[in-house]
Structure 1
């Protein structure tokens, strides 16, 4: 009897060890700029969550997929073509093998789509058209392809820094009822009511249609806190992080904090922003001449931010970054230096430590970790 128990215990240990090992590896999808340059589209690597190593798996050839979104069930990827094509493409994704298969594409509704999101039920895709100053709602068919009845909403206005709208990002609220856009050209965060059943007019102005940031702020990217109560925006022109209370499509300001060192006079060019999965830390990057990742602690009751440190991103033009699902790693894109830089993340302090690991890839622009089925 003891021998049987030992054998069963050993088998159980092997099984749990295998499961643990399996969950430490992820697909890493990388968006790039293809023209001019050597990149060809979206690249799929395997990321080892124990070592930080990356191994090439496959690619999908597509023009300048600088940003893409994945459905909640991980079956489909929707990508912008930011270059001359100005379109949105649908691709089937095999979350076991990492293979991407092109399905179809539709016009983005306006010029220069630079950001894309998909609602939690996979019914609609939303694109931020930077060049055209608009937000586009594209319906998704049952087979994952994009429908033809597109809604394109042109923004209006200007700011002291820009003479026309430049919509830089679009995200969906946690309850899937609202869509929010960051308009760099008008210094506004616009709020839309989202109703998928109202196709083809799925978006309409919310009761609070927008909030206005400081003149010349230039809001770029947005992110929600995991508790769904706070929204944060990183600004490109004045390089600040703006914090808001959020409730049912309504925003009220909390604070704004600078990402720049004291005495710094050059352009910061705020870029990307993310909150750790535990909600304790916020990370926001600058590019251009500074190239840093600012690290803030978050007051869990008020949403207020306190600067902890600034970590050099070690790459040029740190356009985006991503935290892996385990929370142990942060990867930053060096768009101008043609590399992805790996940092080990301390989950207790929030600080980042360079590992010396890099992936050489031409003009990387976006990263997304996906569990391997």
Structure 2
């Protein structure tokens, strides 16, 4: 009797596991932010299949001014974009309703950011606030989000001050990212112009949810130019990519008390050309780190991550097969990496070898004008 009971229990557990496994999405909606100064119509939506890497066109949101960075809102029902404009005009952000699977996307409203050149947007899990990095204006803007997904007027602005050693690129502040920590206790925003990762305490639901942490910043080597961040899935480690020197800073993550572990260059030894490091992502299993470099190389550089120490070991360099890999994304299954080549108007799909981290070219290519941001959201 006992043996039969154990067998029945094991069978139920196996069935439950199988059902849970079967619930993992095999289809995602791929949203593509672009620059509309050329032939792009706005935000493009494609279906993406995680087993094959194939894509299928669904929709486009037209008439959006330079939606160069996107964020997905609560329950995948809303999409938010920056409207990136330069120094001569104030920037803005837009809110959209979104229907997963059909890919239907429609404008809800638009709000000024009170800062020039917004280039990055993040939304908290509760869908209470949007956080916007104004690159040209050197500021961070906070906008409330209504229950129906609309954006309210800016309720908090954090204006950075200062400069650094490169007179051409760092004469003033240039805020590049606005990323919430995995537990959302902090908001971290990079400033290329002052060579800092600034850290703010975050309390959701308040009109002004940000206050300076103590210490309020992590500093990097002058002239490096901090750009993008990512975390390992276990939240133990954080990685910063600097744009101007192509340096990765590895940290043991603990909010404002994070400790630097090492620095690693993504630039080939002896390289004398132009460096333009852009994006950085950790694989969903936490085993590998990927970073893109624009400039004169146009490649993805791959590192393995030591699980206990967070330190990096070089794996390979891979051509992105196009010009200016501004942004890339790893699909949630970890099977594929997609690279947005801004200046060659294409998106290449690479298959990831989950044992080695290496990238293999697939025949799947999307032709999209000036793609600069890729985001996934479940389609089923």
TM-score, with length taken from structure 1:
0.92
Shift of 1:354: 1.0
Bigger drift between 78-87 and 293-302 goes to 78-87
Contact 1:109 1:151 in 2 (8 A): no
CA pair 52-149 structure 1, distance change in 2 beyond 3 A: closer
Of 41, 65, 69 in structure 2, the residue corresponding to residue 67 of structure 1 is 69
Please list the CA deviations of residues 192-241 of structure 1 after superposition, one character each: whole Å capped at 9, or x if unmatched.
Answer: 01123431x22111111001101100011111111112111111101011
May I ask how many residue pairs the two structures share in their alignment?
Answer: 356
Contact 2:114 2:154 in 1 (8 A): no
**Residue 258 of structure 1: aligned partner:** 265
- CA distance in 2 between counterparts of 1:133 and 1:256 reads 26
**Residue 243 of structure 1: aligned partner:** 250
**Residue 100 of structure 2: aligned partner:** 95
CA pair 354-325 structure 1, distance change in 2 beyond 3 A: same
Shift of 1:152: 1.3
CA pair 361-21 structure 1, distance change in 2 beyond 3 A: farther
Of 321, 327, 352 in structure 1, the residue corresponding to residue 328 of structure 2 is 321
- Equivalent residues in 2 for 1:94-243, closer than 5 Å: 94-161=99-166, 162-199=170-207, 201-243=208-250
**Residue 289 of structure 2: aligned partner:** 282
**Residue 39 of structure 2: aligned partner:** 38
Bigger drift between 143-152 and 232-241 goes to 143-152
- CA distance in 1 between counterparts of 2:291 and 2:122 reads 19
Structure 1 residues without counterparts, runs of 5 or longer: 1-15
Bigger drift between 245-254 and 91-100 goes to 245-254
Structure 2 residues without counterparts, runs of 5 or longer: 1-17
- CA distance in 1 between counterparts of 2:242 and 2:254 reads 22
Bigger drift between 182-191 and 223-232 goes to 223-232
**Residue 53 of structure 2: aligned partner:** 52
Contact 2:90 2:114 in 1 (8 A): no
- CA distance in 2 between counterparts of 1:305 and 1:72 reads 33
SS of the residue 1:196 aligns to: coil
**Residue 339 of structure 1: aligned partner:** 346
SS of the residue 1:73 aligns to: helix
SS of the residue 1:336 aligns to: helix
Contact 1:109 1:150 in 2 (8 A): no
- CA distance in 1 between counterparts of 2:154 and 2:91 reads 17
Bigger drift between 49-58 and 228-237 goes to 49-58
Shift of 1:362: 0.6
Shift of 1:22: 8.9
- CA distance in 2 between counterparts of 1:334 and 1:21 reads 33
Please list the CA deviations of residues 104-135 of structure 1 after superposition, one character each: whole Å capped at 9, or x if unmatched.
Answer: 11111200000110111111110010000011
Shift of 1:96: 3.1
Bigger drift between 272-281 and 140-149 goes to 140-149
SS of the residue 2:227 aligns to: strand
Shift of 1:20: 5.5
- CA distance in 2 between counterparts of 1:44 and 1:231 reads 30
- CA distance in 2 between counterparts of 1:22 and 1:233 reads 30
Shift of 1:356: 3.3
Aligned-residue Cα RMSD (Å) equals 1.8
Of 17, 20, 27 in structure 2, the residue corresponding to residue 25 of structure 1 is 27
Contact 2:116 2:137 in 1 (8 A): yes
Bigger drift between 152-161 and 247-256 goes to 247-256
Shift of 1:159: 0.8
- CA distance in 1 between counterparts of 2:74 and 2:343 reads 31
